[in-house]
Amino acid sequence: MKSISANLNVMIKAAEKASKTLIRDFGEIEKLQVSMKGPSDFVSNADLKAEKIIIEELKKARPGYSIISEEDGSEFNKDKKNTWIIDPIDGTTNFLHGIPHFAISIALKFENQIISGLIYDPIKDEMFYGEKDNGAFFNNQRIRVSKKKELNACLFATGGKSKKEIDLPIRKSGSAALDIAYVAAGRYDGYFQSDLNLWDVAAGIIILKEAGGIINDIDLSQNKNIQIRASSMAINEKMNEKLRNF
């Protein structure tokens, strides 16, 4: 494994610190499911608490960098070329219902490209990360996209509402970040979804590319209404043919 950059090291430490409170809060969800108030407010607070920890850690190491985050919005600082993009809980609905499938997502954008990305599933202790020209990794092991060439042998991930029936074997997991990470690791063969936010997918973009995957062009100046089509090179054309009217 190549050595990781100082920036990625900062991202890892921030994610690991925030994960401790998320794991603890997730453990409380089951009790809240049966309470009168319900867990919604609790989850909102867990989201904000995790985001606060991540931002504090990132700012401590890189005080001048700008920030785009799901809960806190945008903060343009002295260094406008470098921007952290943060989603403290990608898969909030899963978290809310006590389903252990959600992730912390942190990306670093330099000018108009994502150069580092990290997606961390704290419950399974699975960390996916990648850096421009430095490869993609899962828990320190190099990862590559699937080598399958026939669509009928593949499994695809998607989310949200579909306007039409898609003639592909699909799963909906409820976490866009983990869906892209799973494509990068070869667990899924492709992923497609519309109406996403930048913080849902920013980290996954670089992880997927560094794992040898291909993804449609994304305007990183837009924070919302993002469409993703991601897969290995081997099936990308065939997948897009099936998604022509998606």
CATH entry, 151-242, from 3.40.50.450, 3.40.30.10, 3.40.50.150, 3.40.190.80: 3.40.190.80
The upper half-sphere exposure of residue 146, i.e. CA atoms within 13 Å in the direction of its Cβ, equals: 22
At 36 the pLDDT is 47
Q: What averages of pLDDT result for each successive group of 10 residues across the chain (246 residues)?
A: 87 98 87 56 85 96 93 76 96 91 98 97 98 96 97 94 83 97 98 95 98 95 92 96 85
Active site amino acids: 70, 87, 89-90, 92, 200
At 38 the pLDDT is 56
CB 54 within 8 A of CB 88: yes
Where are the chain's structural domains?
6-142, 151-242
Backbone φ and ψ for 164, nearest 5 degrees, come out as -145, 165
Q: How far is CA 69 from CA 53, 85, 202, 206, 216, in A?
A: 12, 6, 11, 18, 23
- Quick one: DSSP state of residue 203? H
At 124 the pLDDT is 97
Is residue 167 helix, strand or coil? coil
CATH entry, 6-142, from 3.20.20.450, 3.40.640.10, 3.30.540.10, 1.10.1670.40: 3.30.540.10
Q: How far is CA 32 from CA 53, 130, 206, in A?
A: 23, 36, 37
Contacts for 193 with CB less than 8 Å, ≥ 6 apart = 158, 159, 160, 176, 179, 227, 228
The upper half-sphere exposure of residue 243, i.e. CA atoms within 13 Å in the direction of its Cβ, equals: 25
- In angstroms, rounded to a whole number, what is the distance separating the alpha carbons of residues 235 and 241? 10
Q: What is the DSSP string of 81-96?
A: EEEEEEEEEE-HHHHH
Is residue 152 helix, strand or coil? helix
At 28 the pLDDT is 84
Structure token pair of residue 77: 């600082």
Domains 6-142 and 151-242 share a fold: no
At 76 the pLDDT is 75
Is residue 124 helix, strand or coil? coil
The label of the residue with tokens 């993009």 reads 85
At 23 the pLDDT is 95
User: Where do the H-state alpha helices sit in the chain?
Assistant: 6-33, 40-61, 92-96, 176-184, 198-210, 233-242
Structure token pair of residue 51: 């985001």
Q: Which amino acid is at 141?
A: Q
